[in-house]
Amino acid sequence: MIETIMIIVVFMVVLIIGLAFFFKFSMSSLEETGADLCIVSNTVLLSSITSMPEVECSVNGKTQDCIDTTKLVVFDPAREYGSYFSTICKQRVYFEDVYPIKNEEEVECSQGTYPNCNLYSFYDSDPDALPGILISTPVSLYYPLTEEYTVGRLVVEVLQ
């Protein structure tokens, strides 16, 4: 009788260990799926930001595939843009003016520094969070005052 109980106890212990391993692997698999979904949602975000009416170019009433820098300067990231950024993970979004090179250093764009600047902060869900994966795409930046187009980069930083 004692031997049977011992066997059952050992069996239960090994079964619990086995299940613990199983759930551990299942959890890591779920985390990987979550990370993949995060990348997918932010890739979608990359293409949707460029067509946001808040920043999209409009020349003579016709929308164009470019970003109006004057709209970027006055864009208020503190406002609620939940419908655009309600992805499953936190992110930091900004535009960089890449070419032609204006400054060797990063100069944050504001009403005081515009147009001699190269970094347009757009959205930051958590300023204290560390940067993680970077997703970026080229964009055309439009300067309405001089009617010039430069080459920029839209960056989505997935935060940790």
Partner 1 sequence: MKKGQMEILGFMVIVLLLIFGLIFYFKFSSGESSSIIPEAEQNLEVSNMLNAIKQYTVCEGVDMKDLMKTCISGGLGCNDDACTEIENELPELISVYGWGNSSYMFEIEGSLLVGSCVGNTFVDDFTLSSTSIRLTYCY
* Contact positions vs partner 1 (CB under 8 A): 3-4, 7-8, 10-11, 14-15, 18-19, 21-22, 25-26, 29, 32, 36, 39-40, 43, 46-47, 50, 64-66, 98-99, 101, 135-140, 142, 147-153
Closest listed residue to residue 49, CA positions, set 68, 74, 30, 25:
68
Instruction: Give the shortest CB-5-to-partner 1 separation in angstroms.
Output: 11
Nearer to partner 1, 96 or 124 (CB): 96
SS3 103: coil
- How far apart, in whole angstroms, are the C-alpha atoms of residue 91 and residue 158? 5
Query: Which C-beta is closer to partner 1: that of 78 or that of 145?
Result: 145
Is the CB of 77 or the CB of 138 nearer to partner 1? Answer: 138
What is the closest distance, in whole angstroms, from the C-beta atom of residue 139 to partner 1 in the complex? 6
- Alpha carbon distance 37, 44 (integer Å): 11
**Shortest spacing between CB 80 and partner 1, in angstroms:** 27
How far is the C-alpha of 63 from the C-alpha of 135, rounded, in Å? 25
Residue 32: CA atoms inside 13 Å, Cβ hemisphere, count? Answer: 6
